[in-house]
């Protein structure tokens, strides 16, 4: 590499650095932190309760928990978050109508899915700027436990299959395998209210 190439590289990298002001970096960091913490709080809350009901009453009991309490518990988590921050789960292949993504959210989910199909190891999150004060933090949700397959894989348990069909006649959240992208947690963060 000659001196001119070196110089242009230096110029290029410094202009990239200067494109984001230190203040904005600071803001983005705090936005990512809120996204991280909020999504983890939701995952933990739902995961722990699901485990408990699976242990105490088996898979049908756990199904009952998901159907009747996952959404309410999500709302409970939302009450604990700072003002202007909210969290939800969405999927293109949704089971519950309460978890349908908006058209714009769907675009992001489909992009993540096409990266996944191209064998890209997905990042822990992607951050979308909606407007000057609003960001959406997407945490991809991967089918990462055998337990998920009980209700989202090729369901073997006839009674469970029947129960799911009864509760969700339009269910499209089955047929998954380990490693598949199941959906995402979306944290919406309004900066100005923080
Ligand atoms: C006992 C059955 C059961 C198990 C096990 C289970 N789920 Fe679900 N899942 C459901 C039901 C029922 C819903 C719809 C109600 C809800 O949770 O909002 C659902 C909804 C979801 C949703 C929201 C989008 C949608 O389709 O409505 C995601 C994301 C999800 N599950 C991921 C997972 C992951 C990841 C695992 C493994 C860690 C898992 N599930 C394990 C029953 C289950």
Cβ 174 under 6 angstroms from ligand 1: no
CA of 159 to the centre of ligand 1 (A): 17
Q: Check whether 191 has a pLDDT greater than 70.
A: yes
Between CA 69 and CA 110 the distance in angstroms is: 27
Mean pLDDT of the chain: 90
Give how far Cα 67 sits from Cα of 29, 59, 128, 151, Å.
35, 12, 30, 12
Ligand 1: which of 99, 105, 175 to mutate, judged by most atoms within 8 Å of the beta carbon? 99
For residue 93, which atom of ligand 1 is closest to its CA? 26
Look-up of token digits 């590499």: 1
Q: With cut-offs at 50, 70 and 90, classify the pLDDT of residue 90.
A: very high
For residue 75, the SS3 value is: helix
Tokens of 138: 């997407």
CA of 171 to the centre of ligand 1 (A): 11
Q: Check whether 153 has a pLDDT greater than 50.
A: yes
Predicted structure pTM score: 0.89
Between CA 107 and CA 186 the distance in angstroms is: 13
What is the DSSP secondary structure assignment for residue 118, as one 8-state letter? Answer: T
Give φ, ψ of 3 to 5 degrees.
-60, -35
Smallest CA-to-CA distance from 86 within 26, 43, 34 is with 34
CA of 104 to the centre of ligand 1 (A): 22
Q: What is the pLDDT of residues 14-62, one digit of tens each?
A: 444 555 667 776 789 999 999 999 999 999 999 999 999 999 999 999 9
The per-residue pLDDT for 17 is 52
CA of 131 to the centre of ligand 1 (A): 31
Torsion of CA 48, 54, 55, 61, to 10 degrees: 120
């Amino acid at each position: 590499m000659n001196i001119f190439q070196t110089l242009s590289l230096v110029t290029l990298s410094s202009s990239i650095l200067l494109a984001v002001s230190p203040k904005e970096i600071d803001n983005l960091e705090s936005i990512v932190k809120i996204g991280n913490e909020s999504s983890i709080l939701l995952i933990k809350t739902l995961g722990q309760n699901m485990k408990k009901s699976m242990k105490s009453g088996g898979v049908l009991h756990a199904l009952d928990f998901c159907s009747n309490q996952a959404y309410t518990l999500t709302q409970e988590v939302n009450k604990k978050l700072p003002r202007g921050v909210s969290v939800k789960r969405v999927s293109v292949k949704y089971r519950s109508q309460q978890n349908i993504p908006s058209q714009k959210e769907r675009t992001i989910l489909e992009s993540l899915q096409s990266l996944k199909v191209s064998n890209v190891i997905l990042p822990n999150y992607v951050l979308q700027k909606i407007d000057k004060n609003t960001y959406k933090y997407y945490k991809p949700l991967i089918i990462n436990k055998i337990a998920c397959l009980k209700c989202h894989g090729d369901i073997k348990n006839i009674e469970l299959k029947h129960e799911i069909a009864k509760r969700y006649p339009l269910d499209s959240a089955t047929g998954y395998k380990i490693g598949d992208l199941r959906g995402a947690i979306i944290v919406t963060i309004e900066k100005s209210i923080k």
